[in-house]
Structure 1
Amino acid sequence: MTATQWTADSAGSGRYADVNGINLYYETYGTGRPMVLLHGGLGSGEMFGPLIGTFSENHQVVLVDLQGHGRTADIDRPLDIRSMADDVAALIDHLGLERPDVVGYSLGGGVALLVAIRHPEKVGRLVTASAGIRRDATYPEILAQQGQVGAAAAEFMKDTPMYELYQRVAPRPEDFPRLLDKIGAAMAKDFDFTEEVRGLQVPTLVMGADADLVPPSHFVEIFELLDGGLRDGGWTGEGRPKGGHALAILPGLTHYNLFLSPLFASTTLAFLEEDH
């Protein structure tokens, strides 16, 4: 099933929430323990189409389109994961969700992490997938490619799934070059969330592909900041991280297909469904 087919056939309900100064689009699927699911850059909630049935089998899934993405129109502020995290926290309040789990991939993984850092009281468990915490952890050739993202690239992207999606669902399809400009500006800014991660209290699964935008060692670095990977776990798990954190490097995947992999879904769900 393609993402387009999923949208046409889905039973989810799409709504807008006026929160934190933005009209945020979201869809809900299934019932059970709530999970907020956050997409990657230049995508939308549709990215998770092939997996939404798996995720929503035992969970109420809230699928969000982040600022300027999908069906959420852009507003007059930079694209910054901090403000987008505050959007998600405001949506959690708006929907009356009690400590939902927050799961994010790529850009959404960074946003999910910042939700847990800035609003830990609102989050049950966190899954941050394919998201580095330092800009300089990204491979140099990828940083060079990111430096070319801007409005001038819009013409060259007209045959891509990202452009097709935006033209089909965005409230203002003509804003695509502007979105590229804002994403390019965001990716050009240095960032380092090492100290924030070190103090993270929310049980966290750090996840990445074995051939991601950053080396696997960076995901290990994040896990170590959470007291993981520093000692033997012990027969009864007494040596595992005290915060309930975990690490998963998914085999045979890249940054560009992890979000479609059944391994992403099964690993996420196994972590979320552990005894609380």
Structure 2
Amino acid sequence: MTATEWTAESAGSGQYADVNGINLYYETYGAGRPMILLHGGLGSGEMFGPILPALADHHQVIVVDLQGHGRTADIDRPLDVRLMADDVAALIDHLGLRKPDVVGYSLGGGVAFQVAIRHPEKVGRLVAASANISRDAIYPEILQQQGQVSGAAAEYMKDTPMYELYQRVAPRPEDFPRLLDKIGEAMAEDFDFSEEVRGLRMPTLVVAADADMAPPSHYVEVFKLLDGGLRDGGWMGEARPKGGHALAILPGLTHYDIFLSPLLAAVTLAFLDQES
């Protein structure tokens, strides 16, 4: 992937919001029903550049740079999806949005889940792409790789799009090793949010690549927590999951290119634009 692929195809309106103790950067694209869009770890909202035009065609898309990522400076607290979810909830209030849809990929998908868990009254529909809800679902070799992420790896990442992006846009480019340390510490923490996900009531779309960071069976299990995949859906869809939940396994993709795929945009829009 080249650095240019991380750049949004059309300029959005970039602003900062002083919310929840953090100066949160966000860009706004398009007009229509609001959608909060959350990026993956070591990235920024620019990751979604190739699919932003489709998403913003008839939605107002608010693309957020999470704590310590992109144009949002780090603050003195851990990188925790629950704390970052509180940031997003505070941004929703700051912008005066009424139940926007929340869409997240990878780290952003974990944050999206937590916004829905911790602030359900603020979320319309939820889309979580390539977001694992338990650490033990992740392939062992990936967990081993994650265990090697620390500030000491910064020198070896200088030729990567993640490093180039951070150096270009971060308020303090010298903080990249600190971000790696925090990401490494966060990934080392055990987690299992199964019971919290089971309680979600807003319509939720679980999305994954067919060759993702965890096996497809994990995302099926998440769907099962939401009353999905337990029975035939019926001729008229009358026995589909209660609450309008859905599952999409996207073919020919991995954890590392799903956020660029028109398929992700297509299934997201099809789900968000359903009649309630």
TM range (shorter): over 0.9
Correspondence for 2:142: 142
Letter aligned with residue 187 of structure 1: M
Matched, 1:240 2:240: yes
SS of equivalent to 2:49: helix
Classify 1:113/1:148 alpha carbon distance in 2 versus 1 (closer, same or farther; 3 Å): same
Correspondence for 1:97: 97
Deviation at 1:9, TM superposition (A): 6.1
TM-score for the superposition, normalised by structure 2 = 0.98
Letter aligned with residue 11 of structure 1: A
Distance 1:188 1:159 in 2: 25
Q: Do 1:3 and 1:47's aligned partners in 2 also have CA atoms closer than 8 Å?
A: no
Letter aligned with residue 110 of structure 1: G
Q: Do 2:3 and 2:164's aligned partners in 1 also have CA atoms closer than 8 Å?
A: no
1:132-165 per-position Cα deviation (integer Å, ceiling 9, x unaligned): 1000000000000000000010000000000000
Classify 1:6/1:66 alpha carbon distance in 2 versus 1 (closer, same or farther; 3 Å): closer
Correspondence for 2:51: 51
Deviation at 1:190, TM superposition (A): 0.2
Classify 1:132/1:196 alpha carbon distance in 2 versus 1 (closer, same or farther; 3 Å): same
Distance 2:5 2:147 in 1: 33
Letter aligned with residue 70 of structure 1: G
Deviation at 1:3, TM superposition (A): 6.8
SS of equivalent to 2:263: helix
Classify 1:148/1:19 alpha carbon distance in 2 versus 1 (closer, same or farther; 3 Å): same
Deviation at 1:10, TM superposition (A): 2.5
Distance 1:226 1:171 in 2: 40
Deviation at 1:11, TM superposition (A): 3.2
Correspondence for 2:215: 215
Correspondence for 2:67: 67
Structure 1 residue ranges (4+ consecutive) displaced by more than 2 angstroms after TM superposition: 2-11
Letter aligned with residue 161 of structure 2: P
Distance 1:167 1:6 in 2: 13
SS of equivalent to 2:259: helix
- Structure 1 runs not aligned, ≥5 long: none
Q: Identity across aligned pairs (percent)?
A: 81
1:47-85 per-position Cα deviation (integer Å, ceiling 9, x unaligned): 000111100000000000000000000000000000000
Correspondence for 1:87: 87
Letter aligned with residue 260 of structure 1: L
Distance 1:112 1:19 in 2: 17
Matched, 1:264 2:264: yes
Deviation at 1:238, TM superposition (A): 1.1
Deviation at 1:112, TM superposition (A): 0.4
Letter aligned with residue 241 of structure 2: P
Distance 1:189 1:106 in 2: 16
Distance 1:165 1:214 in 2: 26
Letter aligned with residue 80 of structure 2: D
Matched, 1:226 2:226: yes
1:228-272 per-position Cα deviation (integer Å, ceiling 9, x unaligned): 000000011111011100000000000000000000000000000
